[in-house]
Chain A
C-alpha cells in the first residue's frame, strides 16, 4: 500500500475487462435480457400536439385487435400509480406533479396519452395506430422569452407567467463594485437545445417475483433512485422491488432520470401479474428523453483598464420544457449555470437572476455537463470580448484573472470551494502545446488565408464533480442522498468480490474499481471482480451521474478495502506469529517483515473456520464489510481547451484544425479510460457547438426527431485530440476528481471562441450555438457586405501593449 507510484495499480492504463463480451456480441443490453414466456409488451400513443385538450379517447378498435390485452389511459392508472411528485424544498420553485399519462391536457409533442398492452411488440405497435384520440388544439408557447410575457399561454394553470423557478443572488455592494469599472461590456449568448442521444434508446422489463415483489430491469444510471421512486409512487416497499441494470448503451445523464414509462411498466406488472416489457424507439427517444441546454445568458462585465474583471452581472433563462423532471426538478440547469459561471477566475463581485421557464416543449434535464458548457461559453465569450475591447491578447486577459496556485483554497463569490487545482498551469500548458503564440504571430488581421478564415479559441473551465450529501441538502432535493457505497468481500478461496452502488454505461467500472480495490487491499488485480447495478447486491447509493463514480464509489471501495485489509493483517499476524504492523498485504499475499507469508486464501480459511488454525479470540467470522462514503460537498476539476479552426469563406463550414486539452482530474486511476472520457465528451461538445439542435417550429412540433435530421458527429467531424495530463489530487479519499463531463464543457466554448476569432476580422459577432454553416455563412455575407464601413479590430500581442 505504501509502494512507489511506479508499481501502483492506480495510474495504469489497464485494458478494460468489459470489452471482450461486448466485442463478441455477448453484451446484455435491456432488449437482450431474456424475457419469460408470457411477457406482455407495451407501446405508447403519443400526443401529436404541443398543447391540446383531450376531448375523447376511443380504444375500442385497438382492444379488438387479436393479441391486445388492454389499452390504458390516465384514468386507468388512478390507484395504480401516484402522479410523479418530486420531494424538494427550494425557495422560488414550484412545479405541479405530473400524471404518468396526460390527463385532460397534453403539453408537448410526444407526451404519452395511452398505453397499449399486447402479447407482442408488433401487435402493440399496430394497436397504437388504432387508438382514436380527439384533441382540441390550444395555443402553444415554445420560446422562453415569449413564455414570460404577460398574456402568454400558460403551460400549467397554477404556474403563473410560466416560471417554474426563479432565483437571485448578489454579493454585497454589487452595484458600487460594478460601477467602478473602466469599461462595461454586455453580450447575450444563446445556446441551442440539444439531447444526449445515447446509441441505445431506453427500455425496461418488469418481472414478477412471487406474489408481491418485482425484479425491474431498466436502462438507467440511477437504480437506487428508480427503486425509491417506484416504491413510493406504487405504494410498495423498497424491499419488494429489486432494480437491476443491464449493460447500458450510453447514458450521458439522459438515463439519470426516472421517466413516466418506468412507473407505467412497473404498475402494469403488478396489475397483470405478468412480465411487462417496453423498448423505446429512436423517435420516442428524441421526443421524450430529457432535452438539454436551450439557454440564454445576458451577461454584463465591468472591467478595469488592465483587463481585470471587477464584476459580472447575469440574467439567465433556461427553457425547462413542459414538466419538471424526476428527481432533479427543472432547476438544475439554471441554478448550475449561474453558480458555475465564474469558472477559474478571481471574480469577487457577482449578481445574477435566473429563471427556469415552462414551455410546450420536451422536458429538460441533466445532460452531460449540465449548464456548464453554456456557462463557460458565456464567461469565455466575455473574456474574448474584453480582449477585443481593450485590444489585448485573449490569453493575456485570462492570465490576469486566473486563480493562481497560491490563491488556493479559493471560495467563489457564490461559495463554491476550490481546494486544489491547476488553473493557470493548465492554461499555459495548453497554449504552449497548441503553439498559441506562434499562431497569433502569423495570423493576419482579416484572418483570411487561402479562402478560409482562421481562428483560435481558448476555454478555461471548471467542472463540479462528485457532490456529497451537503451539496444535495443545499439544493433541497430530499430524495438524493449524495452517498455511495461498496461492499467488499474476500471469498473463502481468497478471491475478492466488490459490489459498488454504481451502474456503468461505458465508463469502465469493472476495470477501474478493480484497480482501486486491488491497490488498497493488496490483492491480486486478477483476483478482484467488480459487480454493480443491482439494488440487491450493493448497499444503498446515489449512483452514476455528475462525474461522481470515481470520487464516491472510489472512496467507498478504498474505505472498504482498508477495513477488510486491517482485519486480514490481524489474522495474518496471528498466523505468522508477528504483530499486525509487521504484516504487509501485497499481490494477494500477506508478508511478515521476517519474510514468512500466507496467501489470501489461507487467511480466508481462518476467517471462515475452514482451517485448523482457529479464529483468533476477539475476531468475528468472515472477511467483508460495507462502507459508505460521503465525499466533500463538491470537488472541482479543471481543464483548458485550445481549438484552432478554419471557416470556409464561401460556405461557412467549420473545420477543426487542432484541438488541444490540458486537464486535471486529480489522481488518475486509468489514463486510457480518462482519455476516452475526454475524447467522447469533447466529441459531444463538437456536435453541440457545430451541428446538433432539436428544432421546434412555432406550433411546438419537433421537426427533426430522427437521426437523419438530428445530426450527430461522425468520424469525419471529430479531430484527433492532443491531451496533456496534470494531477492535483483532490481532498477526497484517493485524490480523485471527476472527468466525465469536462470534455463537453471545454469543447463548446473553445470552439465558439475559435470561430468567433476567425470571423472577428470581418466584424462578425458569433454568440450562439449551433454554429451551422447556414448561420456562419449568413454572418459572413452580412459582414462582408458592410465591410467597408466597419472598423477592423486589431489584436495586439501583450508585448505591443506593454
Chain B
C-alpha cells in the first residue's frame, strides 16, 4: 500500500516526475508534489467540484482520480488559463461580473466553464445553469456566474469570428 514509485504526469504542458504512492490522489499530487495549489479540495467525494481539472480536455474531479492512473494524459489546471499578464476571457468575465467571493470554488468553476464553452459556444441561460450545476458555490448565489459565462461566451465567439476572417 505504501510502496513508492515514480509517477510522471504532463501538467499544463510540462512533465513532472515525482516519487509517490500509487494511492496518491491526482489532487494531492498537483497540490503538494508539484505545488499547483490553485486546484482546491472541497469534499474529497466528487460532489462539490472545487477540485475540477481537465484530463485530456475533459473536466474531471481530481479528488476521484489516482495520479498514477492518469499518466500519459494531458492534465490542465487553473494555473494554465491566463496568458502571462493577461487573464483568460473567462477569468476576466468572472472579475467584471463579481462572479466570485471567497474564490475557493472558482478554480473548479473556471475549468468546468472552459470545457463547456468549447462544447457549447452559444449557450442559453438554462444551458449555463445546467453546466454549472456540477460545481457548488456557497457565496455568490450563481446569478453573477451565469452572467460571467454568458459574457465570456459572447467574447470567445467574437474572438473566433475574428480569427476566421
Contacts and interface: CB of A to CB of B under 8 A. Distances in A.
Interface of A: 15-16, 18-20, 22-29, 31-32, 122, 126, 197-201, 247-252, 281-282, 505-508, 672-673, 675-676, 678-684, 706-708, 712, 714-716, 718-721, 743
B78 A706 contact: no
Contacts of A18: 103
B67 interface: no
B21 interface: yes
Interface in B24-67: 24, 31, 36-45, 47-48, 50
B48 A707 contact: yes
A247 B45 CA distance: 23
Which interface class (under 10, 10 to 19, 20 to 34, 35 or more) fits B? 35 or more
A715 B95 contact: no
A18 B144 CA distance: 16
B98 A16 contact: yes
Contacts of A684: 138
B94 A19 contact: yes
A27 B103 contact: yes
Contact of A15 (B50, B96, B130, B139): B96
A24 B103 contact: no
A672 B81 CA distance: 25
Contacts, number: 175
Nearest to A25: B38
Nearest to A252: B138
B85 to A, nearest CB: 10
Contact of B48 (A199, A251, A508, A676): A199
B87 A24 contact: yes
Given A25-B77, A197-B138, 18 more contacts: A19-B95, A23-B95, A25-B36, A25-B107, A26-B38, A122-B23, A198-B102, A198-B138, A199-B40, A201-B42, A247-B103, A252-B138, A506-B100, A506-B102, A673-B98, A676-B98, A683-B142, A712-B136
A505 B101 CA distance: 8
A18 B133 CA distance: 25
Contact of A23 (B110, B137, B145): B110
B72 interface: no
Contacts of B138: 197-199, 250, 252, 680, 684, 712
Interface in B96-149: 96, 98, 100-107, 110, 128-130, 132-133, 136-146
Given A199-B42, A716-B130, A23 B101 contact: no
B116 to A, nearest CB: 12
Given A200-B104, A712-B138, A716-B129, A24 B91 contact: yes
Q: List the 6 shortest-distance A-B pairs measured between CB atoms, nearest first.
A: A25-B38, A249-B104, A22-B103, A506-B102, A679-B141, A506-B101
A148 to B, nearest CB: 34
B95 A714 contact: no
Chain A residues touching B, majority SS = loop
Nearest to B130: A716
B43 A25 contact: no
A15 B36 CA distance: 26
Tell me which of A26, A27, A678, A684 has the highest count of chain B C-beta atoms within 10 A of its own C-beta.
Answer: A27
Contacts of B139: 199, 250, 506, 676, 680
13 contacts: A15-B95, A19-B100, A27-B103, A199-B50, A249-B103, A673-B98, A678-B141, A706-B43, A707-B48, A714-B132, A714-B136, A715-B137, A743-B141
Given A24-B79, A25-B77, A716-B129, A199 B94 contact: no
B73 interface: no
A719 to B, nearest CB: 8
A545 to B, nearest CB: 15
B44 A200 contact: no
Nearest to A683: B141
Nearest to B136: A712
Contacts of B96: 15
Tell me which of B91, B102, B136 has the highest count of chain A C-beta atoms within 10 A of its own C-beta.
Answer: B102
B46 to A, nearest CB: 8
Contacts of B137: 199, 715
A251 B139 CA distance: 9
Nearest to A67: B2
Given A679-B144, A714-B133, A718-B141, A199 B38 contact: no
A751 to B, nearest CB: 14
A282 B106 contact: no
Contacts of B31: 31-32
A744 B39 CA distance: 29
A513 B103 CA distance: 19
Tell me which of A22, A201, A678, A719 has the highest count of chain B C-beta atoms within 10 A of its own C-beta.
Answer: A22
Contact of B95 (A16, A29, A676, A720): A16
Contacts of A508: 101
Nearest to A508: B101
Contact of B136 (A27, A199, A673, A706): A199
B129 A715 contact: yes
B136 A24 contact: no
Contact of A706 (B45, B104, B106, B130): B45
Contacts of B81: 24
A672 B98 contact: yes
Contacts of A743: 141
Nearest to A686: B141
Contacts of B105: 199, 249
A748 B58 CA distance: 38
Tell me which of A18, A282, A675 has the highest count of chain B C-beta atoms within 10 A of its own C-beta.
Answer: A282
Contact of A708 (B38, B45, B140): B45
Nearest to A282: B43
Nearest to A708: B47
A23 B100 contact: yes
Contact of B103 (A282, A506, A680, A712): A506
Contacts of A16: 95, 98
Contacts of B42: 199-201, 249, 282, 707
B145 to A, nearest CB: 7
B8 to A, nearest CB: 20
Given A31-B37, A679-B141, A507 B101 contact: yes
A506 B102 CA distance: 4
A539 to B, nearest CB: 25
B82 A24 contact: yes
